[in-house]
Amino acid sequence: MLYHIYEAQRNVMEPFADFAQAASKLYSNPLSPFGQNPFAQRVSASYDLMYRLWKDYEKPEFGITTVDVDGTPVAIHERVELDKPFCELRRFKRFSDDPATLARLKQQPAVLIVAPLSGHYATLLRDTVRTMLQDHKVYITDWKNARLVPLDQGEFHLDDYVGYVQEFIRHLQASYGNCHVISVCQPTVPVLAAVSLMASRGEVTPLTMTMMGGPIDARKSPTAVNNLAMNKSYEWFENNVIYRVPTTFPGAGRRVYPGFLQHTGFVAMNPDRHLSSHYDYFRNLIQGDDASTEAHRKFYDEYNAVLDMDADYYLDTIRVVFQEFALVNGTWDVINDEGELERVRPEDIRTTAHFTIEGELDDISGSGQTEAAHALCCNVPKSRQKHLEVKGAGHYGIFSGRRWREVVYPQVRDFILQFNEGPSVPVRGRNGAAADAAPAAKKARRAAAA
């Protein structure tokens, strides 16, 4: 019911947002009669702020068209490489007319960036992608808004997330012989599980894993986010934050954790900061500070654009990661494509080098949570392990902004380059028959478990 009320409110506010936008432009135009008013700039700023608060924020674009590679502009073509029901694997293919540059591009490592499925779109990692493109072939997981996925596409569980990651890794391995994986925040757990399962089966694993600001062991330095997940029961989450998608969307009837609830939680973590930011935006509009106002718009266009998460995936994550701590306790069983249970054993990883990165001031994944991966991957030689704590960085600072570009990225780049050697034989994925049977097998296995 709450979702329907929210949608009704949004529909009611839409014409008011349009009016506020038009009024802001009217008062800011010096040729308009309204623009001659001595308070016109202040009135225009007030309407502009109303528009920003009331408008509906759609999924942003990556918008990366060129990058600089060793001083040479390189064109970027963004395309969907694989299209799954709940995710698109996007590739940012680089083009150049300069033979020397093209030769360098072909020799650079392939990297799979696994973006978080925790409320925001993958475009939150735009700065990560743009920077990585200077020295790598880049792919990213672009998770879909669950309210746009029809019910006939089936369920989506944390197990399915792990399966998607494995499929994407195999796809890059088949194309390039092997690859490197970077996970940011939430996906550090399923990515570590995916690579662990591949190692247990004897498959070729990625050359490196870089895990950034994720809850590998959420018991360490618990944050407000961790405490909420740990102190409320599984039933509380199922009964209080799960709703069905209204009939106006393709995914009508699907059980989801709505994006607007997640956004409310984001804002509630730092309400004073957001209030101050909007007030500064209002003042900058009056003063005509175009650079500051544009920076504010870009940030909140991204921050306010949220997606719904499938309820099964969300509840699985609460239970496995934040309540049972199944990964670190060695009790996590994942249902594979054949509907069989497989135990996640990070100790089976032996060749994949891993790099953990944490922000000193991270208020989402606390100190030590990501570093815990090293103890789990106990059979990886110490010479192939690395940890970095970024001084003065919060959660977003380790993958976006100045600290990411100047402090973190150079070390990520060098780490990947250091271990960019491994099997050159393409890895074959499972046969088509097994893949086709996977959803039914998984569903049967879950029903039996229930």
52 and 123 in a single domain? The answer is no
Is the residue at 265 inside a domain?
no
Q: What is the pLDDT of residue 426?
A: 37
Q: What is the pLDDT of residue 439?
A: 59
94 and 218 in a single domain? The answer is yes
Is the residue at 219 inside a domain?
yes
37 and 90 in a single domain? The answer is no
pLDDT means per 10 residues, the chain with 450 residues, are 86 91 90 79 93 90 94 95 97 94 94 95 96 97 97 96 97 96 96 98 97 96 86 93 94 95 84 91 92 92 93 97 96 91 97 96 93 97 96 94 96 96 44 46 56
Per the CB < 8 A criterion, the answer to whether 74 and 68 are in contact is yes
Nearest CA to 171 out of 77, 90, 75 is that of: 90
47 and 161 in a single domain? The answer is no
193 and 342 in a single domain? The answer is yes
Q: What is the pLDDT of residue 443?
A: 61
Is the residue at 138 inside a domain?
yes
Domain that holds residue 352: 66-240+309-449
424 and 350 in a single domain? The answer is yes
Of 56, 84, 103, the residue that ends a domain is 56
Helices (H), 55-176: 99-107, 126-132, 158-176
78 and 35 in a single domain? The answer is no
How large is the C-alpha radius of gyration of the chain? Answer: 23
Burial 7-39 (b: 16+ CB within 10 A, else e): beeeeebeeebeebbebbbbbbeeeeeebeeee
Give per-residue pLDDT as tens, 55-101.
988 999 999 999 999 889 999 999 999 999 999 999 999 999 999 99
Q: What is the pLDDT of residue 164?
A: 97
Q: What is the pLDDT of residue 369?
A: 96
Tally of domains within the chain: 2
What separation, in Å, do the N-terminal and C-terminal C-alpha atoms of the chain show?
A: 27
Q: What is the pLDDT of residue 234?
A: 94
Length of the chain: 450
52 and 70 in a single domain? The answer is no
The pTM (predicted TM-score) of the whole model is 0.90
The CATH code of the domain that includes 89 is 3.40.50.1820
